[in-house]
């Protein structure tokens, strides 16, 4: 009898041995990561590497159980390793307090693993690991949770959909006029306070408008947009008085009195809307000093401030932030303040300013707690959901190591409903034929990055004919590294720079598309530095890897075909779970806990919601 007796009895000797000798990479040691690392060391995984760039925060401790109070501010990766080793001292864990996008984590390094497990909380890193696993041809288990909901699924090159096969939900944007002129919900006022006002007063006001709102330039609102630009300009002038005694009043008079009076003068705007009521500094200052009323729970963040409390807080936090900005500018005149939900002064300011604006537009005021959720896009994460999903990830890992990758199912954790399924299974989908990420050829390129310019790469590798060992593409190509444009026919600024001067080092991936070919997904060149001495026959470069996309058997996976109409809903649902950053105001399929599957009948549940009655797969 040993600590492994149960694992051997359940898995059998063969699979148990495969688990023990496998090498796995876990990316992220946060909510899912803590649970997953515990499961891995207990389940008999012996060779584990953990990467996380984050440090431990107090608000992690309610779910990231490998961390305790004495660990706050320490590296998540290192502390997770130390805690997990106590569960099984025989495990061999290597921890990296680093960004998974660092160059040390090259494609070659990824190839050293049998399995990669994502336990991430952001879209960017998920995309990166997805791409690296495709390039290294290593199976990846992707997972995510939001509140009570979660999911886990397998990504394997040429076999399943990759992370980027389906579009992801982008943050909600609001029309500029809704934010600047006609707010109708608390979120509009919060976006105004955080993205417009905060940036204008403390940020880089020269910079163009925030991405948080959409520019609509129909004829109707062109005039209004012009007026708004004037308002912004006027605010800039007032800013020159920052630090003076009159500053608070000047800002208040401008944004809560003058600008509102101007809006009111546009009578057409208020024909079908409730017109705003300006606030007056002197009137508010003359009202009775607010008594800090404590609410039932006594927690100050839960309490919704009255107008006078908002007024006091606005003036006070404006002063605090102004002082900080002026101090920072003494060190360097280009210094600015950036909004951060964990910055108390910034949260005080955004709460007060948004609530004053809500009052003007007769919108419900919100507590500081609620404003923080919305302004900070906080996705509430809990221990239980993470634990369930981390368990499912290991069950998927067993299947993969047992040679049953194609039998793995995309698994969702739902909320309890009247339906039988709490864990819902869905067959893996095939790769999307036009996916620019996984349907692109990955070709290894060994080349001397110190002595090769982008132009010589173009001449010797990209446009050189296939007979001479090149890629045989036309002169009209676009070269990207991630989202960064390096070269196209109208942009050759980088042509004479060497690859290392462009930070194109080991493991970096260049996507090259031929603009002469319609819908070309192009090729990915995976860079590896090599001097000509080490290359065969003294060649200047060496290409390796498939020269054509792998051909997929059309019937290899997924018996079921989706309805066109369901496609978007499914995308939205997955994206909402997958990217871990659902915008505050969006409502996706996942929000109400109803996850619908295809092929099933539609029914109305007891709450009058339309739900899909689901059935388990027949196999």
Partner 1 sequence: MNETCVLLTVCGKMYIMETVTAVSYMVHTATSTAFCKRYYITHMGMATKENKTITEDEAALYDRQIRLWGVEAQQRIRNANILVAGIKGLGNEICKNLVLAGIGSLTILDPEPVIIQDLGAQFFLTEADIGKNRAEAAAIQVQALNPRVAVRTDKEDIEQKPDAYFEQFDIVCVTYASLPTMIRLDALCRARKIPFYAADTFGMFGYIFCDLHSHQYIQVRKEEATTKNATPREISEPRVEEYCTLVQSLDRDWSDITKGQLKKRVSKAFPMTLVRYRFQELHDRLPTEADERELGTLRNDYLPQLGFKDLTFLDDSMIEILAQTANTEISPVCAIVGGILAQEIIKVLSGKELPIQNWFFYDGIAGSGLIHHIEKGKSIILQ
Choose, by CB under 8 A, the member of 218, 297, 332, 468 that binds partner 1.
297
Pairing of strands 92-96, 47-51: parallel
Choose, by CB under 8 A, the member of 47, 205, 214, 302 that binds partner 1.
302
Residues 368-427 that bind partner 1 (CB under 8 A): 369, 373, 378, 380-388, 390-395, 398, 409, 411, 413, 415-423, 425
Residue 203: what are its φ and ψ, rounded to 5°?
A: -100, -150
Answer for the pair 412, 150: CB distance below 8 angstroms, yes or no.
yes
User: Is 62 labelled a binding residue?
Assistant: yes
Active-site residue 177, yes or no?
Answer: yes
d(CA 75, CA 233) in angstroms, rounded, equals 45
Cα 312 to its chain centre, rounded Å, is: 36
User: Is 580 labelled a binding residue?
Assistant: no
Residues 127-156 that bind partner 1 (CB under 8 A): 147-148
User: Is 236 labelled a binding residue?
Assistant: no
User: Is 33 labelled a binding residue?
Assistant: yes
Q: Write the binding mask 230 to 259 for partner 1: x where contact by CB under 8 A, - elsewhere.
A: ------------------------------
- Judged by beta carbon, residue 50 or residue 461, the one nearer partner 1 is 50
Residues 61-80 that bind partner 1 (CB under 8 A): 61-63, 65, 68
Least spacing, CB of residue 615 vs partner 1, in Å = 5
First to last CA, the chain: 37
Greatest alpha-carbon span in the chain: 88
Choose, by CB under 8 A, the member of 39, 317, 322, 511 that binds partner 1.
39
User: Is 377 labelled a binding residue?
Assistant: no
Residues 167-226 that bind partner 1 (CB under 8 A): 178, 184-187
Taking CA atoms, 538 is separated from 245, 534, 542, 611, in Å, by: 73, 7, 10, 65
- Judged by beta carbon, residue 150 or residue 203, the one nearer partner 1 is 150
| Nearest Cα to Cα of residue 150 among 393, 447, 465 | 393
Cα 306 to its chain centre, rounded Å, is: 35
Residue carrying structure tokens 């899909």:
612
Least spacing, CB of residue 595 vs partner 1, in Å = 13
The alpha-carbon radius of gyration of the chain (Å, integer) is 28
Residues 576-615 that bind partner 1 (CB under 8 A): 585, 587, 591-592, 607-609, 615
User: Is 457 labelled a binding residue?
Assistant: no
Query: Contact between 5 and partner 1 (CB under 8 A)?
Result: yes
Taking CA atoms, 184 is separated from 178, 276, 359, 367, in Å, by: 8, 11, 11, 17
Least spacing, CB of residue 143 vs partner 1, in Å = 13
**Catalytic-role residue among 34, 133, 177, 189:** 177
| Nearest Cα to Cα of residue 126 among 143, 110, 109, 105 | 143
- Supply 108's token pair: 């070659």
User: Is 402 labelled a binding residue?
Assistant: no
Answer for the pair 313, 291: CB distance below 8 angstroms, yes or no.
no
Query: Which one of the spans 35-43, 133-141, 243-251, 477-485 is the region binding partner 1 (CB under 8 A)?
Result: 35-43
Choose, by CB under 8 A, the member of 267, 271, 298, 533 that binds partner 1.
298
d(CA 557, CA 428) in angstroms, rounded, equals 7
Which SS3 state, helix, strand or coil, does residue 565 take?
Answer: helix
d(CA 560, CA 90) in angstroms, rounded, equals 44
Answer for the pair 179, 186: CB distance below 8 angstroms, yes or no.
no
Query: Contact between 88 and partner 1 (CB under 8 A)?
Result: yes
- Judged by beta carbon, residue 271 or residue 330, the one nearer partner 1 is 271
Cα 358 to its chain centre, rounded Å, is: 29
Choose, by CB under 8 A, the member of 18, 38, 71, 157 that binds partner 1.
38
Binding site residue list for Zn(2+): 162, 165, 435, 438
> Would you list which residues are annotated within the binding site?
28-33, 52, 60-63, 76, 121-126, 162, 165, 435, 438
Which residues are the active-site residues? Answer: 177
């Amino acid at each position: 009898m040993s600590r492994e007796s149960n694992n051997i009895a359940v898995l059998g000797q063969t699979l148990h041995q495969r688990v023990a000798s496998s090498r796995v990479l876990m990316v992220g040691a946060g909510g899912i990561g803590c649970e997953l690392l515990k499961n891995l060391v207990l389940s008999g995984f012996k060779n584990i590497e953990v990467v996380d760039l984050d440090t431990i925060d107090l608000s992690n401790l309610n779910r990231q159980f490998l961390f305790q109070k004495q660990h706050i501010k320490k590296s998540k990766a290192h502390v997770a390793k130390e805690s997990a080793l106590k569960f099984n001292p025989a495990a061999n864990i290597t921890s990296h307090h680093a960004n998974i996008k660092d160059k040390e984590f090259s494609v070659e390094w990824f190839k050293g693993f049998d399995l990669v497990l994502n336990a991430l909380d952001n879209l960017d890193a998920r995309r990166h690991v997805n791409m690296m696993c495709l390039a290294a041809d290593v199976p990846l288990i992707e997972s995510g949770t939001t509140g009570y909901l979660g999911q886990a699924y397998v990504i394997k090159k040429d076999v399943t959909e990759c992370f980027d096969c389906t579009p992801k939900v982008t943050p909600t944007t609001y029309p500029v006029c809704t934010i600047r002129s006609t707010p109708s919900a608390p979120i509009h006022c919060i976006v105004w306070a955080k993205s417009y006002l905060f940036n204008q007063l403390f940020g880089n006001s020269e910079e163009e408008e925030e991405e948080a709102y959409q520019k609509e330039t129909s004829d109707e609102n062109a005039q209004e947009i012009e007026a708004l630009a004037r308002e912004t300009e006027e605010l800039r002038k007032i800013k020159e008085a920052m630090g003076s005694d009159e500053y608070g009043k000047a800002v208040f008079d401008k944004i809560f009195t003058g600008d509102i009076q101007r809006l009111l003068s546009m009578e057409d705007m208020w024909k079908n809307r409730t017109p705003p009521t300006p606030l007056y500094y002197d009137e508010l200052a003359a009202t009775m000093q607010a008594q800090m009323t404590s609410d039932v729970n006594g927690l100050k963040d839960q309490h919704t401030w009255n107008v006078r409390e908002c007024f006091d807080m606005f003036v006070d936090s404006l002063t605090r932030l102004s002082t900080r900005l002026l101090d920072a500018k003494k060190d360097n005149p280009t210094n600015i303040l950036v909004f951060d939900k964990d910055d108390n002064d910034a949260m005080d300011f955004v709460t007060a300013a948004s609530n004053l604006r809500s009052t003007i537009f007769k919108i419900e005021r919100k507590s500081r707690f609620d404003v923080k959720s919305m302004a900070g896009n906080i996705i509430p994460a809990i221990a239980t959901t993470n634990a369930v999903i981390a368990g499912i990830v290991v069950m998927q890992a067993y299947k993969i190591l047992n040679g049953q990758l194609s039998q793995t199912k995309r698994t969702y954790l739902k909320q309890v409903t009247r339906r039988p399924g709490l864990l819902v299974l869905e067959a893996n989908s095939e790769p999307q034929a036009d996916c620019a990420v996984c349907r692109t050829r990955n070709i290894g390129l060994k080349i001397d990055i110190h002595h090769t310019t982008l132009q010589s790469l173009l001449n010797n590798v990209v446009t050189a004919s296939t007979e001479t060992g090149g890629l045989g593409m036309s002169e009209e190509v676009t070269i990207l590294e991630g989202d960064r444009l390096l070269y196209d026919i109208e942009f050759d600024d980088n042509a004479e720079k060497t690859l290392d001067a462009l930070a194109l080092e080991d493991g970096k991936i260049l996507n090259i598309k031929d603009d002469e070919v319609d819908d070309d997904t192009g090729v990915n060149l995976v860079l590896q530095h090599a001097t000509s001495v080490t290359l065969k026959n003294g060649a200047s470069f060496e290409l390796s890897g498939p020269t054509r996309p792998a051909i997929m058997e059309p019937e290899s996976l997924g018996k079921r075909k989706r309805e066109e109409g369901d496609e978007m809903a499914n995308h939205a649902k997955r994206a909402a779970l997958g990217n871990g950053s659902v915008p505050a105001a969006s409502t996706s399929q996942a929000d109400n806990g109803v996850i619908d599957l295809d092929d099933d009948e539609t029914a109305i549940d007891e709450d009058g919601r339309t739900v899909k009655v689901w059935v388990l797969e027949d196999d």
